Amino acid sequence: MTQTLKDRFKAVETNLSKKTWFKKDKWIISVHAFPNEKNAEGVTFHIFKKHWWNEDKKGVHIESYLDLNLKKQKKTYLTIHLLHSDLIPGTKLKRIAFSKPFIDEIYDEVSSWDGYDFRVGKYGQQPFTKFLDATDLKFEKNLEIEVERMCKYMGPVLDKAIKSIS
């Protein structure tokens, strides 16, 4: 079943990787079992750029997840993950050094997008969530559309926020 879920995300990856903006901005996609192959609970989709500290899959990335439990697939999500730790890798700087300027710049626009809900602790590791129904026959296309929108809008803003602390 893990492979079937991976195939769904791989279809999204294939379509996105053909797009000009994807190639131009050197986006990277990772589709992998979570938490690992041996003890998989589901499959995770990450899209990110090389300088977003995501080599270990715990950095900055746009993420979706499909649970192995079919009942839980009814309400899957799309979010941006702003590090799994409180400190920026290789520094003594706190995550908020880039998350606050990033969130402050995107907040009004993203809040206007249908289904995007910010958390009370919006400067934390997952500032907002958009829920998707993975049982919908258009799930892959819907995910592709939302990921493209997030990458095109948030990618440059995040690059700027990261650069400002370098």
pLDDT tens track for 94-130? 999 999 999 999 999 999 999 999 999 899 999 999 9
User: How buried is 132 (Cβ within 10 angstroms: 0-12 exposed, 13-18 middle, 19+ buried)?
Assistant: buried
Whether the link from the prior residue into 35 is cis, omega within 30° of 0, is yes
9-58 pLDDT, tens digit per residue, is 999 999 999 999 999 999 999 999 999 999 999 999 999 999 999 999 99
Determine contact, residues 8/139, Cβ cutoff 8 Å.
yes
* 40: containing domain: 2-165
Number of domains into which the chain is organized: 1
> What are phi and psi for residue 56, nearest 5 degrees?
-100, 10
Q: Given a cut of 90, is residue 154 above it in pLDDT?
A: yes
pLDDT higher than 90, residue 8: yes
Q: What's the whole-model pTM score?
A: 0.95
Cα 21-26-32 angle, rounded to 5 deg: 110
